[in-house]
Amino acid sequence: MNDETPASSEGSRPPVRISGPAHRRMRPPRLKALRLKRRHLAAWVVVAVALIAVAGEWVASGILDRPARNSSKWAGPPPGAFPSPTWLGGSPSPTPSSPSPSKTTTTKPQRRPPAEATPQSSRRRPAGPPTARITAPSQGATVAGVIGVLMRGTAANLGDRQLRIFDFAPNGVYYLSDEGPISVSGGKWSFRNGTIGDGQRDVGRPFVLTVVVADRTCQAVISATPRDAQNNIGFRTLPAGCREADSVQVTKSAP
């Protein structure tokens, strides 16, 4: 073999090694991430040390002996209890100013004037329609004309109305029998109905004893009606405002 290095062929260039930044060895990305984690860990260590120092000052100043936050007497930590921590690569954060307690304004309630009492009427309004009944004499009883008959009955819810008694005679006339409104006490009334009919002429004839609930109109009509020659007040029909409440038919057995 020939130890001489063969000459390069004509026209070919010898290999040239280029050194420079383009051929530097690239660092793996895992190493960069590890370095970033170390920096972050160092920053958190600094923050933890600052917080521990603040807590130590707080305990030393006796803040923990104050009332709890839930208590109404707790007014928060004293100013300067929390110094502003210095962050890496930054300026201290400003200390927030404690808000001033708001003033509570209490409005005194005003008293309302007492309501005026509504005057009540002297008479209570009836709870239902006015009623009146005849309990005596019984239906079909016989009566003597001169002696008459004692009438009894009940009444309720009259209000400002009154009871009046009429005798309906065989001649078709309602004759007023009473001399004024019938008194009612405890829901009961009584009245002596005397001198029924016209002596001997109507013996054996029927008469209808009628109790009437009379309002103010009926009372006014009765008061304005004059008496006849026999001193009677009679009507062919019951006056306006006179409502028949009950009636009993009796027979005149004697003059």
CATH at residue 213: 2.60.40.10
In a domain, residue 186? The reply is yes
In a domain, residue 245? The reply is yes
Do the beta carbons of residue 146 and residue 255 sit within 8 Å?
A: yes
Q: What's this model's pTM, rounded to 2 decimal places?
A: 0.52
The reported pLDDT for the residue numbered 241 is: 96
The reported pLDDT for the residue numbered 143 is: 96
The reported pLDDT for the residue numbered 44 is: 80
Taking the CA atoms of residue 184, residue 186, residue 192 and residue 196 in that order, the dihedral angle to the nearest 10 degrees is: 70
One domain for residues 84 and 144: no
Please tell me which residue, 49 or 150, carries the higher pLDDT value. 150
The reported pLDDT for the residue numbered 47 is: 81
In a domain, residue 23? The reply is no
Please tell me which residue, 165 or 79, carries the higher pLDDT value. 165
One domain for residues 141 and 233: yes
One domain for residues 145 and 84: no
Residue 23 has pLDDT above 70, yes or no: no
One domain for residues 157 and 249: yes
One domain for residues 143 and 205: yes
One domain for residues 63 and 140: no
CA distances from 61 to 55, 56, 65 (A): 10, 9, 9
* Separation between Cα atoms, residue 224 and residue 220, nearest integer Å: 6
Q: What integer best gives the mean pLDDT of the chain?
A: 78
CA distances from 97 to 77, 91, 152, 202 (A): 12, 18, 97, 117
Residue 122 has pLDDT above 70, yes or no: no
One domain for residues 166 and 62: no
Residue type, 142: T
Average pLDDT over residues 239-251: 97
Q: Which residues of 104-122 are buried (b: 16+ CB within 10 A; e: fewer)?
A: eeeeeeeeeeeeeeeeeee
CA distances from 148 to 55, 193, 201, 210 (A): 116, 5, 16, 14
One domain for residues 246 and 140: yes
Confidence class for position 12, pLDDT limits 50, 70, 90: low
* Separation between Cα atoms, residue 66 and residue 76, nearest integer Å: 9
In a domain, residue 212? The reply is yes
One domain for residues 136 and 246: yes
One domain for residues 83 and 153: no
Please tell me which residue, 251 or 46, carries the higher pLDDT value. 251
What's phi and psi for 197, nearest 5 deg?
Answer: 80, -165
Residue type, 198: D
Average pLDDT over residues 90-117: 59
Give the Cα-Cα-Cα angle 250, 254, 255 (nearest 5 degrees): 110
In a domain, residue 107? The reply is no
Residue 33: enclosing H or E segment and its boundaries? helix 29-60
* Separation between Cα atoms, residue 161 and residue 241, nearest integer Å: 10
In a domain, residue 17? The reply is no
- Please list, in sequence order, all residues whose beta carbon lies within 8 angstroms of the beta carbon of residue 143, skipping any fewer than 6 positions away: 137, 149, 196, 207, 250, 251, 252, 253
Residue in the block written with tokens 């110094």: 83
Peptide bond into 137 cis (omega under 30): yes
The reported pLDDT for the residue numbered 46 is: 81
- Structural domain span for residue 53: 32-68+78-89
In a domain, residue 187? The reply is yes
Counts of helices then strands in the chain (DSSP H, E): 2, 9
One domain for residues 154 and 250: yes
Which percentage of the chain shows pLDDT scores above 90? 49
How many structural domains comprise the chain? Answer: 2
One domain for residues 145 and 224: yes
Do the beta carbons of residue 190 and residue 134 sit within 8 Å?
A: no
Q: Which residues of 9-43 are buried (b: 16+ CB within 10 A; e: fewer)?
A: eeeeeeeeeeeeeeeeeeeeeeeeeeeeeeeeeee
Euclidean distance between the first and the last CA atom of the chain, given in angstroms as a whole number: 192
